[in-house]
Amino acid sequence: MRLNNIAGLSFDLDDTLWPFNAAVLKAEAALYQWLRHQAPATAGILSGPEQLRQFRNDLAVTCPAMAHDPALLRRTSIRNILMAAGENPDLADPGYDLFYAERQKVTFFDDAHPALKYLSRHYPLAAISNGNADLAAIGIDHFFQARFFAHQLGIAKPDARIFHASAGALNIAPPDMLHVGDDVELDVRGALLAGCKAAWLVRDRAQDALAGADDVSDTLIIQNLHQLCDMLG
């Protein structure tokens, strides 16, 4: 892949800049404890914080229209738990607010902040996510000139339109944008099908990740973001 014509970059967020599961597990643990105090009857529904995830996932299956809106999905699942326990369903709003605030307390991968700082000095950056992280609360909003979230646009990766919107916001053509992400389907194939370039961040999954991915051979494969900075000079 030729990198000399890169005019801007877009970044996935969860599992690219920070471990997603770790942040959500902590947020679910905080929500579980909050429910035990504010809605004690939920103890008959929830034996542990892991069941919060199960309620959310089950709802995503039964109501696929919510799939692109993490806030609606999570808030509704909390409301369903409260109703099943005979508690006040209006507690879903403050419960979700607590969860969402805790979800922003991410732990960055060691290379994330230095890479964003370096790359933002040389290229315009955009964020593209199917999640709903609050970049201002997390403290990295200033690195990005554009931010695109699936729940706001009504379209999600790997839809080409979200990549095209990002390139347009950076005032560059799709072939001149390099999208960086960890997911081979959502990030890599999505970017390539949109006519963009793709950098597949595999971190410690290098060997396993490459299995069965022959169709993305025209992709920059990196194990960390330091490599990306070095390659882009």
Are 154 and 68 in contact by the 8 Å Cβ rule? The answer is yes
**Residues 63, 174: Cα–Cα separation, whole Å:** 33
- Tell me the pLDDT tens digit for each residue of 132-185: 999 999 999 999 999 999 999 999 999 999 999 999 999 999 999 999 999 999
pLDDT at position 233: 82
Is the pLDDT at 208 greater than 70? The verdict is no
Q: What is the DSSP string of 62-100?
A: H-GGGTT-HHHHHHHHHHHHHHHHTS-GGGHHHHHHHHH
Q: Region 44-68: what's the mean pLDDT?
A: 93
Three-class DSSP category at 37: helix
Torsion of CA 182, 213, 204, 141, to 10 degrees: -10
Work out the percent of the chain whose per-residue pLDDT is above 90: 89
Are 188 and 201 in contact by the 8 Å Cβ rule? The answer is no
Are 210 and 221 in contact by the 8 Å Cβ rule? The answer is yes
Is the pLDDT at 207 greater than 70? The verdict is no
pLDDT at position 123: 98
Mean pLDDT of the chain: 94
Amino acid at 91: L
Q: Region 80-91: what's the mean pLDDT?
A: 98
Confidence of residue 214 (pLDDT cuts 50, 70, 90): low
Is the pLDDT at 211 greater than 90? The verdict is no
**Domains along the chain with CATH numbers:** 8-19+107-232 (3.40.50.1000), 21-103 (1.20.120.1600)
pLDDT at position 212: 55
Look up the pTM and report it.
0.92
